[in-house]
Amino acid sequence: MNAPAIYSLKGKRVFVAGHRGMAGSAIVRRLEREDCEILSIERAALDLRRQGDVEAWFAAHRPHAVFLAAGTVGGIMANATRPAEFLTDNLLIELNTIETAYRSGVEKLLFLGSSCIYPKFAAQPIREEELLTGALEPTNEPYAIAKIAGVKLCETYRRQYGSDFISAMPTNLFGPGDSYAPGSAHVLPALIDRAHKAKIEALSELVVWGSGTPRREFLYVDDLADACVFLMQRYSGPEHLNVGFGDDIAIADLAAMIANIVGFEGRIVLDPTKPDGTPRKLLDTGRLAAMGWRPKVDFSEGLSRAYRWYLDNVA
């Protein structure tokens, strides 16, 4: 049974920060089924890193609720080559948006973090309590520190000012709107893109970075969006909540599944000169499950949908 609804979006002005991103655009799609007014703004028109601009925009549009899905994101290489941007952009966006939401009397805010906030060697599946119990994975430490700051902003604004600000920690996401830029993409879109090109160019090999043994959990982004709306309506509390799929897969097995869906029939070869990153990060989603929420999109179905989106929008 679902936890009771405690916050209604009906008739509310709901700001989705980061509506062009994969998570934000899925939240917009999901909110279209709610009786609310969706507010969004292009990055060129409002840079969330500029406090004065954020304050002016909130004063003009007065949102009741905010989904904070904006941020600088990327895969293991983007994190390694642009660490200062990952730290600074995310800190500025969170601080400006959360502080301004508080000052302008926003009723409810949901901050989206990331499963990389947890220690590199956290006990698996990772429970919410693992936060700050050990050293972070070095390949994404700046991003993780910014996201931990976001969790703490929500927690402390609640404690000091009584703001109903909550945070959700999604696992690795995939689906429509994903970034396929070679070099900066996450593993799943990177492998879809490479397998597709290998097929088209009739190459004999699909290269997979690292040892192939790290395990990752993947959640279809429309499931994440559904969980965010669920939490907005039914959760209020200082603890951040994990949003996961409940199962993970080795990178080598993921590559084989993607090759199969794409129709690439050559060999899969490993490139051990590339970093593995954290060995495993499967989230424990017991708390969210106890509230009545579960993902709906099966993994291979999600992969097929992601590939179709790639064919229509990227390839």
Give residues 83-142 in contact with ligand GDP (rule: CB under 6 A). Answer: 116, 140
Smallest distance from the beta carbon of 82 to ligand GDP, in angstroms? 13
- Segment contacting ligand GDP by CB under 6 A, of 18-26, 62-70, 204-212, 259-267: 204-212
* E strand segments, the chain: 13-17, 37-39, 65-68, 108-112, 165-170, 172-174, 205-209, 215-216, 218-220, 241-243, 249-250, 267-271
- Does position 251 interact with ligand GDP (CB under 6 A)? The reply is yes
Dihedral angle of Cα 259, 260, 266, 270, to the nearest 10 degrees: 40
Nearest residue (CB) to ligand GDP, 68 versus 187: 187
- Does position 146 interact with ligand GDP (CB under 6 A)? The reply is no
Smallest distance from the beta carbon of 52 to ligand GDP, in angstroms? 33
Non-local CB neighbours of 56 within 8 Å, separated by 6+ positions = none
- Segment contacting ligand GDP by CB under 6 A, of 61-69, 123-131, 186-194, 234-242: 186-194
CA 271 from centre of chain: 27
d(C-alpha 36, C-alpha 233), whole Å: 13
Which of 21, 150, 210, 295 touches ligand GDP (CB under 6 A)?
210
- Does position 187 interact with ligand GDP (CB under 6 A)? The reply is yes
Smallest distance from the beta carbon of 147 to ligand GDP, in angstroms? 12
Smallest distance from the beta carbon of 213 to ligand GDP, in angstroms? 8
For residue 55, with 0-12 CB atoms within 10 Å meaning exposed, 13-18 middle and 19 or more buried, which class applies?
A: middle
Residue 142 corresponds to which tokens in the numbers above?
């700046």
- Does position 37 interact with ligand GDP (CB under 6 A)? The reply is no
- Please identify which of the residues 143, 157, 307, 310 carries the catalytic annotation: 143
d(C-alpha 193, C-alpha 198), whole Å: 9
Residue 190 corresponds to which tokens in the numbers above?
């990177």
Could you tell me how many residues of this chain bind ligand GDP (CB under 6 A)?
20
Per-residue CA distances from 252 to 207, 213, 276 (Å): 10, 7, 12
- Does position 275 interact with ligand GDP (CB under 6 A)? The reply is yes
Nearest residue (CB) to ligand GDP, 69 versus 208: 208
Give the position of tokens 């060697």: 121
Q: Is 307 an active-site residue?
A: no
- Segment contacting ligand GDP by CB under 6 A, of 89-97, 102-110, 270-278, 286-294: 270-278
Collapse the DSSP code of 293 into the 3-class scheme (helix H, G, I; strand E, B; otherwise coil) and give the result: coil
- Does position 186 interact with ligand GDP (CB under 6 A)? The reply is yes
d(C-alpha 97, C-alpha 268), whole Å: 44
- Does position 208 interact with ligand GDP (CB under 6 A)? The reply is yes
Per-residue CA distances from 301 to 178, 220, 294, 305 (Å): 16, 9, 16, 6
Strands 172-174 and 215-216: unpaired
- Does position 76 interact with ligand GDP (CB under 6 A)? The reply is yes
Which of 24, 75, 142, 177 touches ligand GDP (CB under 6 A)?
75
d(C-alpha 294, C-alpha 315), whole Å: 32
- Does position 192 interact with ligand GDP (CB under 6 A)? The reply is no
Nearest residue (CB) to ligand GDP, 22 versus 54: 22
Smallest distance from the beta carbon of 78 to ligand GDP, in angstroms? 8
Active site residues: 143
Residues forming the site for ligand GDP (CB under 6 A):
75-76, 116, 140, 172, 185-187, 190-191, 208-210, 214, 216, 251, 274-277
